[in-house]
């Protein structure tokens, strides 16, 4: 909970801080004038820059009263974003952008990133033949800016909202690699026109590559792929390396093609009943061997 400081306490705090600042200023002034001599006046000492930085920080953080709504909003954002890598507190602008993009085929550079709270987003996957691969981006690169916006304060959701777009728009990245900052201009393209592809592979029942586990992905798999797999005895390779987007219910029904169980997992909230997830229907491909192909970018 947040409690406003009393006016008297605020005035007392400001008076103390101003006194400290005045004392610091006198110390630095005496040092500049008497200890370093007249020669130092031609070039401002480093300590003066330090003093200016201290004054600026104190003025911004303590002396200038902040908008209470912005303060509370920033506190909530920091609290939620720090829970885990996939948690995100979105403002109105980013919420509207998220809802607009959800489920739509998006154009992107072809990188998969992961981000921890307060850190730079790190490239953990690069899609083959993508603009990112052609521009030489590498796994392990740290993205410090996206179109001029610094990334440390962003959540992973906010980073992806800026990397991907419904339209083909230019994308400028600043990347930190081996302590060097590199400017990269990369195109956004529609990386996967279809939600999945299926191709034959010798010694297997084929490779099913899924890009977006969103309807009508499952219904199309049942129509176009499943009939040829019913009698299969060789393993089916499910390629999830580039699957970044999906709907939980669509994924649950996909699992039910191969597995029947009363407990896939569960959701549990404090003070609420546990919600058990199941795939109760009889699986159509229960006896088909599977190979699931993932990489660092599989989220």
Predicted model pTM: 0.64
Residue holding tokens 């947040």?
2
Integer Cα distance of 12 and 90 in angstroms = 36
C-alpha separations of 125 from 106, 119, 139, 281, 296 in Å: 17, 18, 6, 35, 6
Q: Are strands 107-108 and 236-239 parallel, antiparallel or unpaired?
A: unpaired
Dihedral of CA 77/81/87/92: which sign?
positive
Helix (H) and strand (E) counts in the chain: 8, 16
Q: What does the pLDDT read at residue 86?
A: 75
Strand order in the sheet with 196-199: 196-199, 207-210, 236-239, 290-293
Q: What does the pLDDT read at residue 294?
A: 87
Looking at the DSSP bridge assignments, the partners of residue 261 are: 279
Residue 8: in which H helix or E strand, if any? helix 7-30
Q: What does the pLDDT read at residue 180?
A: 93
Judge contact between 175 and 137, C-beta under 8 A: yes
Q: Are strands 236-239 and 212-213 parallel, antiparallel or unpaired?
A: unpaired
Integer Cα distance of 243 and 168 in angstroms = 21
Q: Are strands 149-150 and 196-199 parallel, antiparallel or unpaired?
A: unpaired
Residue-wise pLDDT tens for the chain (299 aa)?
444 444 445 555 666 656 666 666 665 655 555 444 544 444 455 456 566 666 666 666 655 566 666 666 777 777 777 777 778 888 888 999 988 888 777 899 999 899 988 899 999 889 888 999 999 999 999 999 999 999 998 999 999 999 999 888 889 999 999 989 999 999 999 988 889 999 999 999 999 999 888 888 999 999 999 999 987 789 999 999 888 778 889 999 999 999 999 988 888 877 888 888 899 999 999 999 999 998 766 65
Three-state DSSP at 28 gives helix
Token pair, residue 68, equals: 């209470």
Residue holding tokens 């740290």?
142
Asked if the 84-190 domain carries CATH number 3.40.50.10860, the reply is: no
Integer Cα distance of 124 and 110 in angstroms = 11
Token pair, residue 169, equals: 């728009």
Annotated domain spans of the chain: 7-65, 84-190, 196-293
Integer Cα distance of 72 and 172 in angstroms = 32
Q: What DSSP character marks residue 282?
A: P
């Amino acid at each position: 909970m947040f409690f406003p400081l009393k006016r008297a306490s605020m005035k007392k705090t400001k008076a103390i801080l101003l006194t400290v600042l005045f004392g610091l200023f006198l110390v630095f002034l005496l040092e500049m004038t008497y200890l370093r001599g007249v020669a130092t006046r031609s070039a401002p000492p480093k300590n003066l820059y330090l003093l200016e930085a201290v004054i600026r920080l104190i003025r911004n953080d303590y002396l200038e009263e902040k908008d209470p709504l912005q303060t509370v909003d920033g506190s909530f954002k920091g609290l939620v974003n720090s829970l885990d890598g996939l948690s995100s507190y979105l403002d109105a602008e980013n919420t509207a952008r998220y809802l607009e993009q959800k489920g739509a085929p998006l154009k992107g550079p072809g990188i998969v990133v992961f981000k921890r709270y307060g850190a730079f987003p790190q490239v953990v996957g690069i899609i083959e033949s993508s603009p990112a691969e052609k521009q030489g981006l590498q796994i392990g690169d740290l993205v410090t800016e996206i179109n001029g916006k610094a990334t440390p304060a962003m959540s992973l959701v906010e980073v992806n909202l800026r990397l991907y777009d419904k339209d083909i728009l230019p994308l400028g990245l600043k990347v930190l690699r081996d302590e060097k900052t590199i400017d990269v201009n990369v195109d956004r393209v529609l990386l996967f026109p279809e939600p999945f592809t299926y191709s034959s592979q010798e010694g297997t029942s084929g490779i099913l590559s899924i890009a977006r586990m969103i309807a009508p992905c499952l219904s199309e798999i049942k129509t176009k792929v499943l009939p040829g797999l019913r009698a299969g005895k060789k393993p089916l390779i499910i390629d999830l390396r580039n699957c970044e987007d999906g709907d939980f219910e669509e994924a649950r029904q996909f699992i039910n093609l191969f597995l029947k169980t009363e407990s896939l997992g569960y959701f549990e909230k404090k003070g609420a009943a546990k919600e058990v997830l199941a795939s109760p229907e009889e699986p159509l491909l229960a006896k088909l061997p599977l190979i699931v192909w993932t990489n660092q970018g599989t989220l």
